[in-house]
Amino acid sequence: MIISFVVVCIVAGLETIDLYRIFGTYGERFETVINLLIFPATPIIYGWIVKDKIGAIIVGTVPIFILLFFGNLFFGNLIYKDGLNISRFLTILVYAVSLATLGGLAGYFSSKRELKYLIISIFFGIMWTPVFLSGIN
C-alpha cells in the first residue's frame, strides 16, 4: 500500500513542479513519459522484485483509481449543483476498471517470477498505454 501511495505522490508532485523551467521545452514531454510509464511499470517491477501477488495487484490498481476518481471529483465535472453526474461516473468507472485490470494483471503475472509470466506481464503493461490514451479527450 505504501508503494501505491508513493506512485500517487510522484504523479501529483510532477504536477506541482515547473518541469518546463528545469528541462526547457522537454519538461512537458518528460512529465508525460513519466506519467505514461509509472502506472504500468510499477506493478511489473514491484511484483518481480517482491514476489507478492496481492501487493502487486494493489500497486497496479489502487493508484489509478485514486487519481481518476479524486481527480474527477475535485477537478472534473463529476458533481454538479444538482448532484452526481451518473453518466460521467459510469464512464470513469469503466475506464478506471479497465486500466486497473490491466495494471493488476501485469503485477500478478510478474510476481510469479518466471520469464514466460514476465512476458505476459509486459504485454499487459504495453496494453495499458493505448487504453489510457483512449480515455483522453
Domain boundaries, the chain: 1-134
pLDDT of residue 83: 73
pLDDT of residue 136: 73
Q: What is the biggest distance separating any 2 CA atoms in the chain, rounded to whole angstroms? A: 52
Q: Give SS3 for 65.
A: helix
| pLDDT tier, 5 (very low <50, low <70, confident <90, very high otherwise) | low
**What are 113's three cell numbers?**
517470477
Q: How far is the C-alpha of 93 from the C-alpha of 71, rounded, in Å?
A: 13
pLDDT of residue 17: 56
**pLDDT digits 0-9 by tens, 81-121:** 677 778 878 888 899 899 999 999 999 999 999 999 999 99
